[in-house]
Amino acid sequence: MDKNLDIEYKKMWDKRYKENEFVYGKEPNRFFKEWLPKFEPGTILMPADGEGRNGVFASQLGWKVISSDLSEEGKLKALALAQEKNVSLEYIVGDLEQLHFETSSFDAIGLIYAHFSAEKKSFLHKKLSANLRPGGIIIFEAFSKLHLLYNGRDPKVGGPKDFNMLFSTNEIAADFENYEILLLEEKEITLEEGKYHIGKGSVIRFVGRKK
């Protein structure tokens, strides 16, 4: 993705998150909500955290949360939600490719609908993996390549229209090859997350522990 496309992508998310309502809701993603409590709280990185529903949930469980996103509007919504829930999180606005964290500095990473351009997605997964300590956990849910069949029929379910921004189990296994796989599956689910994730979709779910 070139610089001009990056700018347009940021504008798109700023416009969406500037809407008065929480466009993906205030409740955490169900899969993230199911899995995160299984692990002892520590420090968690939440890339592409948008309006903060998942980062705020992690903070409620006692995690020290660092969220990031391209959108300044997303940050404003996330900090408002954190205040509403009486928790705190650190929120960094910027391109994930340009953000730098210490090697092995996180106990967990939450990747919830963190879709990146085709040429960057594997690079960013491996960059993030370097920030996770051995024994650390990744919790991942995002749309699968089959999802084009779903959002082609029903645009309310959301998700990228670019096939190459979507995921397969093989891609995730390759990107996170040095992991004990606790779960890796492709699954049809029903989404009820605000107004932009509504309906049936196809997702990849992955939980892995870094070796």
Q: What residue segments make up the domains of the chain, in order of their start?
A: 3-210
Check if the beta carbon of residue 45 is closer than 8 Å to that of residue 108: yes
71-92: buried (b, 16+ CB within 10 Å) or exposed (e) per residue?
Answer: bebbbbbbbebbeebebebebe
In this prediction the pTM is 0.96
What pLDDT is attached to residue 1? 46
Check if the beta carbon of residue 49 is closer than 8 Å to that of residue 68: yes
What pLDDT is attached to residue 3? 61
The one-digit pLDDT tens for each residue of the chain (211 residues) are 456 667 888 899 999 999 999 999 999 999 999 999 999 999 999 999 999 999 999 999 999 999 999 999 999 999 999 999 999 999 999 999 999 999 999 999 999 999 999 999 999 999 999 999 999 999 999 999 999 999 999 999 999 999 999 999 999 999 999 999 999 999 999 999 999 999 999 999 999 999 9
Neighbouring residues of 200: CB distance < 8 A, sequence distance ≥ 6:
150, 154, 157, 188, 189, 190, 191
Q: Which CATH class is domain 3-210?
A: alpha beta
Neighbouring residues of 148: CB distance < 8 A, sequence distance ≥ 6:
161, 163, 166
